[in-house]
Structure 1
Amino acid sequence: MITLIAAAAENNALGKNNQLLWHLPDDFKRFKALTSGHYIIMGRKTFESFPKPLPNRTHVIISRQPNYHPEGCIVVDSLEKAIAACPKTEEVFVIGGGQIYHQAISIVDKIDITRVHHAFEADTFFPEIDSNEWKLVSEEFHPKDDKHLYDFTFQTFIRK
């Protein structure tokens, strides 16, 4: 199973200048819980936005740079090759960025999204989730609090 996992605003904003637009500790905890022990597929810019590789995950990076080889990571030049590099019997997560999400949404089985209830100025956006293709199977609302500046909802969609 291939799953897109993302946090996106009401206007599908993901980030600006290769940075997240919000800080939601509960979203980070959910991301860690869901992706730990799995292969994660991402673009080079997403990988480079991390201070260091994420622990307990196998990083598959899509890059067109021929000499790009971060230590301990699998580097390929297409989404198809990234998927081929992952085990077929395990859940694999596509974690961004925007271009990779747009390429992958037509072939993935599931979407786990944190919908941040605010609109942001951004330069990277998540693709529209077409209700003709996707069925919402769970959602869990979280109101803003002292650690979270925005209301947000965890949503899971499966392909119809």
Structure 2
Amino acid sequence: MILSMIVAIDQNNGIGKGDDQLAYISADLKRFKALTTGHTILMGRKTFEALPKGALPNRRNVVISRQPGYSAHGAEVVHSIEEAMALCKNDEKVFVIGGGEIYKSFLPVTQELFLTVIKHAFDEATVFFPAIKEEDWSLVQEEGPFVDEKTQLTYFYQNLERR
């Protein structure tokens, strides 16, 4: 199994405000769909509950929740990182899609990062991606900069691999 993370971060590693994303960039959402379709996506309960239509189609949805008896329509529920890793061990690729605590827990065992880096600092950010130590990662690919027509935000994509 290849464990990957996919996330949009601002200049300060901000990823969210409360239970919502900081920005919705159309091309980034399309990239997310293209990369994760056909694979397993792993997320925390709050991230799952923030999905507008519930479980994402054409992907195996796995939700981690500390709540005993929690159920998520269209998703498999586990209660620990160990349980999630055991459940997904035979999957080709697993994408961790958030939120902050889940990213923090899985970063030490992640092999790939798919970042969308937004060239803006959102003052309202309350959820952050853990610090990425440059010495641990190699830049495999970088694309951009791009400007989102709707939000006018400048952003670029970075794909990193653990050294």
Same fold per superposition (TM over 0.5): yes
Aligned length: 160
SS in 2 for 1:128: coil
Q: Which residue of structure 1 lines up, in the alignment, with residue 154 of structure 2?
A: 151
Aligned to 1:54: 56
RMSD of the TM alignment (CA)? 1.2
* Partner residue, 1:13: 14
Equivalent residue in structure 2 for 1:86, among 70, 85, 88? 88
1:81-113: CA deviation from partner (whole Å, max 9, x where unpaired): 112111435011000000010111110110001
Q: Which amino acid aligns with 2:74?
A: G
Counterpart contact for 1:25–1:148, Cα < 8 Å: no
Question: Gaps spanning 5+ residues in structure 2: where?
Answer: none
Please identify which structure carries the higher helix content: 2
Shift in Å at residue 78 of structure 1?
1.0
Letter in 1 for 2:126: D
Return 5+ residue gaps in structure 1 as ranges: none
Over 4 Å off, 4+ runs: none
2:95 and 2:48 mapped to 1: Cα distance?
A: 14
TM superposition score normalised by structure 1: 0.95
Cα distance, 1:145 vs. partner?
A: 4.2
Residue pair 2:55, 2:73 contacting (<8 A) in 1 also:
no
* Equivalent residue, structure 2, for 1:39: 40
Report the Cα distance in structure 1 between the residues aligned to 2:66 and 2:145, rounded to whole angstroms.
Answer: 39
Identity %: 46
Q: Distance in 2 between matches of 1:114 and 1:72?
A: 27
Equivalence for 2:129: 126
TM-score by length of 2: 0.94
